[in-house]
Amino acid sequence: MADRRTRSMAGSDLSRTTAARATAIAEQLHHECSILLELYRKKENFSADVTVADGRLVSVPPPSSQLDTRDKLWRLHSALLQCRSLLERAIAKEEEDLGGGKKGDYETQRKMVKERLSLLLINTGELLKAVDGTAVLTPNLEGLELDGPTHLFELKLWVYRIFKEVDYWTKTAITTLQSLPSVNARERARTTRVRSTRSAR
Amino acid sequence: MIQWLLLVTLFCKSTQDGNGQENGVFHCGPPNLTLNKSVQTILLAWEDDPSCSAVHDVLIYELVVLIADKQVHYDEVAVTHEQIGSPHSWNWTSHLALECASHTVRLSSRYENRTSPWKQEQTLPGKENLSRPEVYPRDRVLKVGSTVTFCCVLPAGEIFDKMYLPGYNSTIMNTTKINNRTYALTVRLNQPSRDSCTDVKCKASIQHVKTTENGACAFIGYLPGDKDLQCETSDLESVECHWTVERSPHLLSKKTEYQLLGSPCEDGSRGRCLKKVQEDAGERNWTLTVKNKLGKVELSDRADLTKRVHMLAPEGVKASTVNARNVTLEWSWKVQRYTNLNLTCQVNVSHGGTNTMSENIGLGLSFAVLTDLIPNWTYNVTVRCGTTQNFWKWSDWSIGFNFNTKGDVPDALDVWMQVKDNQIIIIWKMPLANQSHGHILDYEVTWAKTKATVANSKHHLALSLDTTEDYIVAVTARNINGSSSPSTITTPPFNPNKTGVNNLQINRKNGSFSLSWSASPAASCGYIVDWCPTSGHCSLEWLKVPPHEHNANIFSKNLKDGLRYSLSLYACTQGAPVLLERGEGYVSEERIKDGLFVPLKWKQQDSDVEVSWNPVSLTEQTAFIQGYILYCTDKDNDNKIVCNVSTDNPEAITLRASHLKIGSYEFTVKARTAVGECGTTSLTATLNSQTDNLIKAVIISLVTVFSLLSLITVVCLKHWACIKEMVYPPIPKPLLTDKWLTSPGEHSCHPLRVDQCQHSEVANMDIPELHCKSGGPVNDYVSPENIPFVFAQTPKGYYNQPLQKCTPPPLILATPTVPSQSGLPSSPIRGLFPNPSYNLMMQAGDQWSNPGPELQEGTCLERNSSGYQPQSRTENFTLNQTEQDPECYILLPQ
């Protein structure tokens, strides 16, 4: 009994710390995404009028207030994973089709965002593990359009769209992660309920 | 029935006959028209109608192209009789992308000015049902300098705003309207794409509210610009071609293909291609083909590879034999065929920033001998080779190889000497690392059968030699390998007289001395120039000059600006060096610091002022002083310079400003040098009237005389009774006996017989003199044992001599060589009075100046008890005197 309480308390502390760290990473990533978007707009002479196709590239279940913490985290984690896949593909296509080799501010920032996104994914994965208690299931990336358009200008727009997608999901990550204290409370409540049930038995 | 058959037959007949013949109507035409496209080209294909077989001449097909229902092109295709019946094709490239607008082709035929009524028409529709503006053509590779038309196709309901290429000037772009939904932009491409493709953008709006933008991308570049193809061989088995790659936009260069003699080159984008070739001694063309999306170029180089051998660098360079001054190098060849070639190899020997190159020739050369090396020295060598016959290029340098030569005895020392304070100092330069050939253990100096060992840290030896003779001094350095050959120098006999030595001509040049002199027949083995600072510590440096040279440039890190150097030129002879010329100079004269003239003094003489200073020391002279200049500034007259006095005498220590008015002046003295007036020192002085000074002097003199007279009067009044008694005694006639001197009473007056006095005429006065003397110590010259001393003068000076007679103590007579202390003229009244202040004897009179006074009976006695006086001889005589009882001597007038 005592062991269980200790473990649950430790798990709670761990998730709280991980959530805080993940939030901080997401905030940093959001800042870096803003810079990346700005650098890309400048590089490609994109005005605010440039037409980017509507709709999300990332495919996840729609948000809902009915989703519990685990589902919210899973949804976020899945979206971020798709973002990373899209970002990696975008970088590869840029290098391949639009001319690479240059190492300027834009390329540096792009690499930084990719690495920060990976770091955020590690933290959201830990959070999922802490909340769910099981191994994190790898979200299904099937159906994700990774090929990109064939025409060069559309490819540029596609890359831009991916950057905006990363930016969007980073903002979502901040919101989701900041709502985690209630999660912790809920987790504590669940732990208490389990404990009470067992005591009653 | 028969009638109907006849009618049909007639109709057919009339139809056949009417093929272009009847009524000017021609019925041959293209029944099967096919329209296709490729990128921006329209491809049209058709076949002749069977009725065309009747045509016996050239059949013309007329083609009309319409873009958006406007005719943009007309063309004709001529078909001969032989061609009729076979398929025909025609293509045409539109200036617009085919997606921009519908392209319609109309085809008709004409024969002998009769046009077929058949007209075939096919249309390629443009893009429709768009959701946003689209720009065409897309992803094209275009040549810089070409003129291209892009179009923007709008969705229904959108309003065109503009088309543009970022970075392009709008003045070279022209936008036209094709139809309501299509606009075209024609632009001359004058700049290549840089890191990525170049965008062509179209901006539109939906009911002037929402703006949309889309675009296309195009790579703009050049034809392959590669050039300067050159082919050679390094192994005589393969050809290696190099060329200069002209950079294109990234994707363009990535997609550039290279082929050498028809086979692809993998390293083509790096400008090199290597192919195995069959041994072929002949000359041939080596052709490189470079192709990209915009076109291709061919580069060609005609060469015989046997005359284009670019050898590989020698390998494994090493030293097979290492000695103190020579080394044998060896290396090997990667290509065995080199051993059959006559080779020229260069060996680059470097050490301490110095490089020397040697060249060796031989068949399959694989060794070289290096000579004239420095013992105990580190070298680095590299080797490169080329073919001697039909030399083409040097190989790359081999990898460097380091080796150390063996040690040897030191080189002979550079020896010189310095004559200083009757001593001869033998000095030598410390051997440099490339002269010592090993660690110097010590030095040996040998002269006149004498040998001295000097530690390796010292580089001089002072010899005390007989300065009247010549000596041959030899100096050797010793290291672990032995002693150097001796360096000798002959010391000259000491000759302080250095007159008759010429002035050495010294010029300054970029921080060094430049000397030149006349040839001297005495200089059989050259010249020696030595130098050191004129003042201060002399650390002698020297330079040896060959006999045929009569000038020298002296560079030394020790030479300092603003420091005067003495330079001497010697002739090197078989014997001792001979001093030829001397001189002084500065490497660079510097301004002398202000405040040079210390102390600066002034003296007024009437209306003149003399300003003086101490002689300027050499250490303060940072430039040659050519003279001095004195400026007088009138402080009362707005600092106006009122005088300017100068002298060209560098030894001068005074300058006089004349005819100055009474007032306040600032006197400024400056030294004149080659770098200007410097060493500025000033003083401020106020000139007074000379009349004022005279009045002051008179008043002071009068006050002094009055005070003196008053003092004499007071003293005389105090002793009036005694004076009266002695001057007018009751004794009728004084009688002097021999015992008078031996029995004087205390506090008594002792009359003397003045007729025996041998005074001068001036001294013999009617007024008697009174000598009062206390009985205390005569003077300070008394030994602690109360043994009085007599100062006696000996031929070699003065010494203190204790007296043998203790009682009574002797009196000391001053020698007459001491002049009168007062310096005042002789007073007619001479007397000896007790000094009220010091209790010493005061005496006035010219008797001090009388030489050689001797004490005799009746001789006047005069004493000076106030200090030491040199004496010519000692005189003893007896006087009864005590501390308590002062004695009075009265010198009576004769």
DSSP string computed for chain A: -HHHHHHHHHHHHHHHHHHHHHHHHHHHHHHHHHHHHHHHHHHHT--TTB---SS-SS--PPP-TT--HHHHHHHHHHHHHHHHHHHHHHHHHHHHHTT----SHHHHHHHHHHHHHHHHHHHHHHHHHHHH-SPPPPPP-TT---S--SSHHHHHHHHHHHHHHHHHHHHHHHHHHHTHHHHHHHHHHHHHHHHHHHHH-
Residue B859's pLDDT is: 36
C-alpha to C-alpha distance for B410 and B397, rounded to whole angstroms: 34
Q: Which single residue is written with the structure tokens 């580069």?
A: B299
**Quick one: three-class SS letters along B685-718?**
EEECCHHHHHHHHHHHHHHHHHHHHHHHHHHHHH
| Burial grade of A150 (CB within 10 A; 0-12, 13-18, 19 or more) | exposed
Residue B248's pLDDT is: 62
Cβ burial A51-82 (10 Å sphere, 16+ → b, else e): beeeeebbbbeeeeeeeebbebbbbbbbbbbb
Query: For residues A1 and A37, which has the higher predicted lDDT (pLDDT)?
Result: A37
C-alpha to C-alpha distance for B744 and B230, rounded to whole angstroms: 140
Query: For residues B203 and B887, which has the higher predicted lDDT (pLDDT)?
Result: B203
C-alpha to C-alpha distance for B827 and B821, rounded to whole angstroms: 14
- The answer to whether B216 faces chain A, any CB pair under 8 Å, is yes
Q: Which single residue is written with the structure tokens 């001053």?
A: B814
Structure tokens at B537: 């510590």
- Contact between B397 and B382 under an 8 Å Cβ cutoff? The reply is yes
In B, which residues are within 8 Å of A107 by CB distance? none
Residue A171 to chain B, least CA–CA distance (Å):
26
- The answer to whether B209 faces chain A, any CB pair under 8 Å, is no
Residue B453's pLDDT is: 95
| Burial grade of B656 (CB within 10 A; 0-12, 13-18, 19 or more) | middle
Q: Best of A152, A155, A160 to disrupt the B interface by mutation (most B CBs within 10 Å)?
A: A152
| Confidence band, pLDDT 50/70/90 cuts, at residue B887 | very low
Among B734, B722, B632, B625, residue whose Cα is nearest residue B679: B625
Among B179, B182, B146, B152, residue whose Cα is nearest residue B164: B152
| Confidence band, pLDDT 50/70/90 cuts, at residue B32 | confident
- Torsion sign, CA atoms B815, B816, B821, B826: positive
Among B17, B19, B15, B79, residue whose Cα is nearest residue B47: B79
How do strand B88-93 and strand B41-47 relate by DSSP bridges?
A: antiparallel
- Contact between B46 and B88 under an 8 Å Cβ cutoff? The reply is yes
Residue A98 to chain B, least CA–CA distance (Å):
5
Q: How far is CA A101 from the centre of its chain?
A: 28
Q: Do A151 and B199 touch (CB under 8 A)?
A: no
In A, which residues are within 8 Å of B196 by CB distance? 98-99
- Contact between B170 and B145 under an 8 Å Cβ cutoff? The reply is no
- The answer to whether A101 faces chain B, any CB pair under 8 Å, is yes
- The answer to whether A50 faces chain B, any CB pair under 8 Å, is yes
Residue A117's pLDDT is: 96
C-alpha to C-alpha distance for B299 and B258, rounded to whole angstroms: 11
Name the helix (H) or strand (E) containing B446: strand B440-447
Cα–Cα distances in angstroms (integers) from residue B351 to residues B54, B81, B319, B375, in the given order: 98, 90, 16, 12
Q: Which single residue is written with the structure tokens 């203190």?
A: B800
Q: Looking at this protein, which amino acid is placed at residue A175?
A: T
Q: State the Cα angle at B806 between B802 and B810, rounded to 5°.
A: 75
Of A118-127, A179-188, B249-258, B824-833, the range with the lowest mean pLDDT is B824-833
Q: E strands within B222-306?
A: 227-232, 238-244, 257-260, 263-264, 272-276, 283-292, 295-304
Average pLDDT over residues B442-451: 92
- The answer to whether B221 faces chain A, any CB pair under 8 Å, is no
Q: Do B139 and A152 touch (CB under 8 A)?
A: yes
Q: Following DSSP, what letter does each residue of B775-825 receive, concatenated?
A: ES-SSS-B-TTS-BEEEEEETTEEEEEE-S--SSPPP-PPPTTSPPSS-PP
Among A63, A60, A70, residue whose Cα is nearest residue A15: A70
Whether B501 has a pLDDT exceeding 70, the answer reads: yes
Q: Nearest Cβ partner of B196 from A51, A98, A151?
A: A98
- Contact between B45 and B87 under an 8 Å Cβ cutoff? The reply is yes
In A, which residues are within 8 Å of B251 by CB distance? 97, 99
- The answer to whether A42 faces chain B, any CB pair under 8 Å, is no
Whether B80 has a pLDDT exceeding 90, the answer reads: no
Structure tokens at B602: 């002034």
Query: For residues B394 and B878, which has the higher predicted lDDT (pLDDT)?
Result: B394
Q: State the Cα angle at A152 between A147 and A158, rounded to 5°.
A: 50
The pLDDT > 90 percentage for chain B reads: 45
Whether B422 has a pLDDT exceeding 60, the answer reads: yes
Phi, psi (rounded to 5 degrees) for A198 = -65, -35
| Confidence band, pLDDT 50/70/90 cuts, at residue B252 | low
List the 78-97 stretch of A: residues with Cβ below 8 A of B.
97
Q: Best of A54, A153, A158, A159 to disrupt the B interface by mutation (most B CBs within 10 Å)?
A: A153
Structure tokens at B532: 């050191």
Residue B343's pLDDT is: 96
What are the residues whose beta carbons fall under 8 Å from the beta carbon of A66, sequence distance 6 or more? none
Residue B607's pLDDT is: 84
Whether A4 has a pLDDT exceeding 80, the answer reads: no
Structure tokens at B738: 């021999």
Whether B802 has a pLDDT exceeding 50, the answer reads: no
pLDDT digit string, tens, across residues B641-692? 888 999 999 999 999 998 888 888 999 999 999 999 999 999 998 888 767 7
Interface contacts (A, B; CB < 8 Å): 48
- The answer to whether A100 faces chain B, any CB pair under 8 Å, is yes
Q: Do B213 and A97 touch (CB under 8 A)?
A: no
Phi, psi (rounded to 5 degrees) for A98 = -110, 5
C-alpha to C-alpha distance for B52 and B27, rounded to whole angstroms: 8
Residue B221's pLDDT is: 87
Q: Do B166 and A45 touch (CB under 8 A)?
A: yes
Query: For residues B127 and B116, which has the higher predicted lDDT (pLDDT)?
Result: B127
Structure tokens at B138: 């897309």
Q: What is the chain A residue with the closest CA to B137?
A: A151
- The answer to whether A134 faces chain B, any CB pair under 8 Å, is no
List the 222-261 stretch of B: residues with Cβ below 8 A of A.
249-251
pLDDT digit string, tens, across residues B544-569? 999 999 999 998 888 888 999 999 99
C-alpha to C-alpha distance for B819 and B821, rounded to whole angstroms: 6
Q: Nearest Cβ partner of B213 from A49, A100, A152?
A: A49
Q: What is the chain B residue with the closest CA to A104?
A: B195
Q: How many CB atoms lie within 10 A of CB B51?
A: 19
The rounded mean pLDDT for chain B is 79
pLDDT digit string, tens, across residues B194-247? 778 899 999 998 877 788 889 999 988 888 889 999 999 999 889 999 999 876
Q: Do B138 and A100 touch (CB under 8 A)?
A: no
In residues, how long is chain A? 201
Phi, psi (rounded to 5 degrees) for B619 = -65, -25
Residue A14's pLDDT is: 54
Q: Best of A41, A44, A47, A49 to disrupt the B interface by mutation (most B CBs within 10 Å)?
A: A49
Q: Nearest Cβ partner of B215 from A99, A100, A153?
A: A153
- Contact between B318 and B330 under an 8 Å Cβ cutoff? The reply is yes
Residue B111's pLDDT is: 82
pLDDT digit string, tens, across residues B153-164? 999 889 999 999
Q: Do B250 and A151 touch (CB under 8 A)?
A: no
Whether B90 has a pLDDT exceeding 80, the answer reads: yes
Average pLDDT over residues A147-152: 86
Q: Is the peptide bond before B808 cis (omega within 30 degrees of 0)?
A: yes
Q: Give the three-class secondary structure for B675.
A: coil
> Which residues, listed in sequence order, are joined to residue B889 by a DSSP beta bridge?
B750, B771
Residue B757's pLDDT is: 40
Q: How many CB atoms lie within 10 A of CB B14?
A: 10
In B, which residues are within 8 Å of A55 by CB distance? none
Of A174-178, B193-197, B871-875, the range with the lowest mean pLDDT is B871-875
> CB-side exposure of B312: number of CA atoms within 13 Å?
15
Residue A113's pLDDT is: 97
First to last CA, chain A: 13
C-alpha to C-alpha distance for B232 and B215, rounded to whole angstroms: 49
In B, which residues are within 8 Å of A50 by CB distance? 213-214
Q: What is the chain A residue with the closest CA to B204?
A: A49
Whether B771 has a pLDDT exceeding 60, the answer reads: no
Q: Do A99 and B199 touch (CB under 8 A)?
A: no
Residue B83's pLDDT is: 86
C-alpha to C-alpha distance for B689 and B678, rounded to whole angstroms: 33
This complex has an ipTM of 0.79
Structure tokens at B586: 């500065």
Of A101-105, B15-19, B510-514, B687-691, the range with the lowest mean pLDDT is B15-19
Q: Do B195 and A51 touch (CB under 8 A)?
A: no
In A, which residues are within 8 Å of B139 by CB distance? 151-152
Residue A48 to chain B, least CA–CA distance (Å):
9
Q: Do B196 and A101 touch (CB under 8 A)?
A: no
Q: Do A153 and B249 touch (CB under 8 A)?
A: no
**Quick one: three-class SS letters along B65-107?**
EEECCEEEEEEEEEECCCCCCCCEEEEEECCCCCCCCCEEEEE
| Confidence band, pLDDT 50/70/90 cuts, at residue A96 | confident
Q: Do A151 and B138 touch (CB under 8 A)?
A: yes
Structure tokens at B252: 């363009």
How do strand B769-775 and strand B883-891 relate by DSSP bridges?
A: antiparallel
- The answer to whether A197 faces chain B, any CB pair under 8 Å, is no
Q: Give the three-class secondary structure for B525.
A: coil
Average pLDDT over residues B130-140: 91
Q: What is the chain B residue with the closest CA to A98?
A: B196
Residue B14's pLDDT is: 41
Q: Best of B196, B209, B211, B251 to disrupt the A interface by mutation (most A CBs within 10 Å)?
A: B196
Q: What is the chain A residue with the closest CA to B205?
A: A49
Of B29-43, B250-264, B602-616, the range with the lowest mean pLDDT is B250-264
Q: Do A51 and B203 touch (CB under 8 A)?
A: no
Q: Following DSSP, what letter does each residue of B781-795 receive, concatenated?
A: -B-TTS-BEEEEEET
C-alpha to C-alpha distance for A124 and A76, rounded to whole angstroms: 8
Query: For residues A168 and B820, which has the higher predicted lDDT (pLDDT)?
Result: A168
